[in-house]
Chain A
Amino acid sequence: MEFVVFWVPAVLAVGCGALVFRFDSMARATFSLLASLLCTGGLVVLLGLDYLGVVVVLMMTLEMSVMAVFMVMYMMNPAGLTPMTMTHNTRAAAVVCGLLFALLAAGILSAPWPDRRGRPPDDPTLDLGMSLMGPQMLTMMTLAMALFATIVATVVLATRRGRYDRLGDGLRARRADDPVPGGVGR
């Protein structure tokens, strides 16, 4: 049982992960990555972190659905109907990654791993919450600041229009001049 519960998602995770770079269709590539990450989320649940595993599933589903839109938007050949290769220095990369994996595997198999210290708490989610709102508060605040900065930065990068485009040079226009009419107050 344990064998199946681990190996099926494990093989799926790596297999779908590899297929991401084999598919010509961007939709297939994106959702293959989603399948891989969902398997990762499932394995995190298997490791006893139910909450984080489900959060990974939730986040990745939303993220990959949005990603699919951008993939289709920016790839030259989103549907993969006329296959083309868009790769560079494949061989060197394969050597680098093969060597890295060999190194990591050797390390994992030969390292004298320490014995488990302590027992998992009854409710790891509670433990995580107490930690984030206590000793790890600084981490949480840094993440919050990073997220906020990202929101601002992405909007600035992605939009071409500023408030002067919307409200005129003196910012005095009564109605904003938007390409897509909105819903509130108009």
Chain B
Amino acid sequence: MAEHPPSWAVFALPVLLAAVALVTAGADALLAAGARAGPARSPREAAARAAAPARGVLRELVRQPRRTRAADVALVRVGAALLPVAAMLAGVVLPLGFRSVSDLPEGVVWYNAMEALAWAAVWLAGWGPNSALSLIGGYRFLAQGLAYEVPHMLAITTAALGAESLRVGGVVDAQSGLWFAVWMPAAFGIHLLSALAMAFWGPFDRPAGRDVAGGAAAELSGVDRILLLGGRWLLLVVAAAMSVPLFLGGGHGPLLPGWAWTVVKTAAVLAFLLWARRRVPALRMERWTEAAWVVLTPLAVVQALVVAVVVLHR
């Protein structure tokens, strides 16, 4: 099933991911404005609300950039730029239908390695400006990362184990019948949770929380701010989209072509996350850490064990 993509796919991928991220951010802004000021009275008002993130990007571009004293500007730049780059690199193995930009032989590990770069990125962006609040944000993300990474790794390993392949295309092929989400529900749930946690978004947004004045992004302005906050949306989109080939059967489905199923499923996962964000309270790091180590990690191990036994007896 591994078809070679056209060469322009390399350039199309960032554009596509950025567009999806912008649409998701717009939908989130629409929901947030709806919760704050009641439903939109006209389609025009709804459109204006949904365009808030795009307006924010333009505003940051023309605004006078702020500087902090004795800031390590080089590290801020590296950190802010690394986050979207990491998300894009992780997206390289994402299949649209049955084609991805590069179906690497160990794509699952590649995805994991690239999203792990977010650790370095957020910490650097938090450390660089020489400001206490942003440093707190950076440290919070590391604490959150230590908690989500182990269950997350086990969850995606479980999917690879079920398919007996580290290739994302291989994982999709293995789900032509039963989706992995059906017989590995724990791994699927953990993957969705860790998608939220790695994008420090929704219930896990403490690293950039309002209680620390924006955390890791507190002192960023201009392009740096756009890159970090945009990279966060990209990471969320990539992680949510990755749950489609890993657990939801990728492009497999009746009637529609593969790419359409991928789009539909990705949109469904993102819509679910947007909905869930408004139903769940924010989680503090120390609570999440203990829950992740005491509950999620053993759960993921048991899930992996069950899948391993099933695979052995297949």
Tell me the A residues contacting B by CB distance below 8 Å. 25, 27-28, 31, 34, 50-51, 54-55, 57-58, 61-62, 64-66, 68-69, 72, 79, 81, 123, 125, 180-184
Q: Smallest distance from the beta carbon of A117 to chain B beta carbons, Å?
A: 24
Q: Closest CB-CB distance, A36 to chain B, in whole Å?
A: 14
**Smallest CB separation, B164 vs chain A (Å):** 10
Extra A-B contacts (5), CB below 8 Å, given A51-B105, A182-B286: A27-B72, A34-B120, A62-B149, A66-B146, A184-B295
A65 close to B166 (CB less than 8 A): no
Residues on B with C-beta less than 8 A from A79 are 70, 72, 130
- Residue contacts A-B, CB under 8 angstroms, 25 given: A27-B75, A27-B127, A27-B128, A28-B72, A28-B74, A31-B75, A31-B124, A34-B120, A50-B105, A54-B110, A55-B109, A58-B116, A61-B113, A61-B116, A62-B119, A62-B149, A65-B120, A65-B142, A66-B142, A66-B146, A69-B142, A72-B127, A123-B105, A183-B289, A184-B291
Partner of B116, one of A25, A28, A62, A123: A62
Contact A184 B290 (CB under 8 A): yes
Q: Are A54 and B119 in contact (CB under 8 A)?
A: no
Q: How near does chain B come to A48, taking the closest CB pair, in angstroms? A: 11
Q: For residue B120, which residues in chain A have a CB less than 8 angstroms away from its CB?
A: 31, 34, 61, 64-65
* Alpha-carbon gap, A184 to B294, bound state (A): 8
Main secondary structure of the interface of B (DSSP, over half): helix
CB <8 Å contact, B113 and A57: yes
B104 at the A interface (CB under 8 A): yes
Residue of B nearest to A26 (CB): B127
Q: How far is the CB of A124 from chain B (nearest CB, A)?
A: 9
Interface string of B110-128 (1 = CB under 8 A from A): 1011001101100110011
- The CA of A9 and the CA of B123, in the complex, are separated in Å by 24
Chain B contacts for A62, CB-based, 8 A: 116, 119, 145, 149
Which residues of B from 133 to 156 have beta carbons under 8 Å from A? 139, 142, 145-146, 149
A145 to B145, CA, bound (A): 25
* Structural contact, B290 and A31, CB atoms closer than 8 A: no
Least CB separation from B105: chain A residue: A50
Alpha-carbon distance between A182 and B289 when the two chains are bound, in angstroms? 8
- Residue in chain B with minimal CB distance to A122: B105
Task: Note all chain B residues with C-beta closer than 8 A to A184.
Answer: 290-291, 294-295
B41 within 8 Å of A by Cβ?
A: no
- Residue B313 is within 8 A (CB to CB) of chain A in the complex: no
The answer to whether B279 has its CB under 8 Å from any CB of chain A is no
CA distance A81 to B123 in the complex (A): 19
**Chain B, range 151-177, C-beta contacts under 8 Å to A:** 166
Residues of B185-225 contacting chain A, CB below 8 A: none
B142 / chain A contacts, CB cutoff of 8 Å: 65-66, 69
User: Which of chain B's residues has its CB closest to A124's CB?
Assistant: B105
Whether A25 contacts B106 by the Cβ 8 Å rule is no
A183 touches B286 (CB 8 A): yes
> Whole-angstrom distance between the alpha carbons of A128 and B61 in the complex?
50
Check if A125 sits within 8 Å of B286, measured CB to CB: no
Residue of A nearest to B110 (CB): A54
Question: CB distance A125 to B106 under 8 Å?
Answer: yes
**Chain A proximity of B100: nearest CB distance (Å):** 16
CA–CA, A81 and B71, complex, Å: 10
Smallest distance from the beta carbon of A174 to chain B beta carbons, Å? 18
Contacts of B110 in A (CB 8 A): 54
Task: Give the residue of A25, A54, A125 whose beta carbon is less than 8 angstroms from that of B113.
Answer: A54
Choose among A25, A31, A61, A125 the residue that contacts B105 (Cβ–Cβ < 8 A).
A125
Q: Which residue of B lies closest to A72 (CB)?
A: B127
Q: Is the CB of A58 within 8 A of B113?
A: yes
Given contacts A31-B75, A58-B113, A65-B142, contact A50 B104 (CB under 8 A): yes
